[in-house]
Amino acid sequence: MFSNRMKISFGMAISAICALASPAWAASLDPMFGTAGITSTPFPYYGSAARVVIQPDGRIVAAGQDAYGDFALTRYTTNGALDTSFNGTGKVTTAPSGSCSGQARALALQSDGKIVAAGTSCPNFNSIRNFTVYRYNTDGSLDTTFGSSGKVTINFYAGASEAYAVAVQGSSIWVAGYAGSGFALARLTSSGALDYSFGSGTGMVTTPVGTNTAFANSLAIQADGKPVLAGYASSDGTVFALTRYSTSGALDTTFGSGGKVLTHVAGTLSGNGALAMSVAIQSDGKIVAGGYAKSTASGYYQLAVARYTSAGVLDSTFGAGTGSVLTAVGSSDAIGNDVAIDANGGIIIGGYSTTGSYRQLTLNRYDASGNQDYSFGPVTTTVGSANAAILGIALQSDGKIVAAGYGNSPTAFVVARYQ
């Protein structure tokens, strides 16, 4: 059996909701973790962690990519040291066959401890990207009972497709991203086969959203089993885009307009843009989407969070009645890449902002009504004399925040813990 861990990508909301505590003071690096709160793990020439999850025993798993286009994973002990029980080194790289680079962009845990990583590769040495999913045993070896020797590729036959999110629910593995120019979602069985009870007998669905292109960046599964995707789409600029499906793969017409929701988070002036990078579901069923937005082409992006009712309507109790909040951090763009909900109903968003010459790790928190929590931050962290960013966050059971991304020079996996 698998766990009920739901989120993702660019995967993981339920673990955040289950946190037992949340910081009541300004967030700061945890000196008991790594070196002064940060651990940096180099791969040859380049490494970047895309997502992070926390095992029930407190060990931390991150997944991303290296310079060779491999799926790259690391596991850390609770104090931030590489866990040598994981492949002997704490690091695993898996090279997908094909003519293009592979990238792990999403991560989830099964209840038996197996690790599911999803992203993209070009199988069969062609140049068309496909959804790619690997499953690893607890020791870091590939699980040969999954797919073909531990690997599954999914071809949507709609042009290139890339997975950005993965979630585990019961005996199902959900994978989401884009195919062609629309949202894409697939459901796999525990063995890695397409689940033909989903998507009209195909195991897959694709959905056009907006007026041109659309990309799904995140996936969460509701308590009733319905999957919710969040990303962005073209629609008089770029908008937060959400879709919800029935458990059989049909668009859920009780959500938004025909199963779709489009939101101009920063308004409709020429050049506006809004991109949802992560989605989480509150214990009351409300849906939180986080990312970044700007009002005009010449403006800077700001951290953006929107909250919706279970019917897909902007929640008027959030963000001073508007249903959304925008926050400028630093001197130029502030980018939100992942969102989590703490035990007090607070919403934490992680990403990067810029002050001076470099990007820096950035976290912010809003209370349950969407008010800025000034007792928390925003908190920013430089990592060496180089760009750094948070791409994924997860909450420990004690409320501490684990953030993963990249930093240093040459660029390396960076994992930081805040208290």
Q: What is 13-266+380-418's CATH number?
A: 2.120.10
Cα Rg of the chain, angstroms: 19
- Domain ranges for the chain: 13-266+380-418
Enumerate the β-bridge partners of residue 131. Answer: 120, 154
Decide if 310 contacts 286 (C-beta within 8 A): yes
- Strand order through the sheet with 324-327: 273-281, 287-294, 302-308, 324-327
pLDDT of residue 100: 84
Residue 355: closest CA among 300, 415, 410:
300
CA 181 to chain centre: 20
What does each of the 419 residues of the chain score in pLDDT, given as a tens digit? 333 333 333 333 333 333 333 444 689 999 999 999 999 999 999 999 999 999 999 999 999 999 999 999 999 999 999 999 999 999 999 999 877 889 999 999 999 999 999 999 988 666 789 999 999 999 999 999 999 999 999 999 888 999 999 999 999 999 999 999 999 999 999 999 999 999 999 999 999 999 999 999 999 999 999 999 999 999 999 999 999 999 999 999 999 999 999 999 999 999 999 999 999 999 999 999 999 999 999 999 999 999 999 999 999 999 999 999 999 999 999 999 999 999 999 999 999 999 888 999 999 999 999 999 999 999 999 998 999 999 999 999 999 999 999 999 999 999 999 99
Exposure of 395 in the CB half-sphere (CA atoms within 13 A):
33
Which helix (H) or strand (E) element contains residue 13?
helix 13-17
Sequential DSSP letters for 223-241: TTS-EEEEEEEESSSEEEE
In which residue are the tokens 């709160």 written? 37
d(CA 225, CA 170): 10
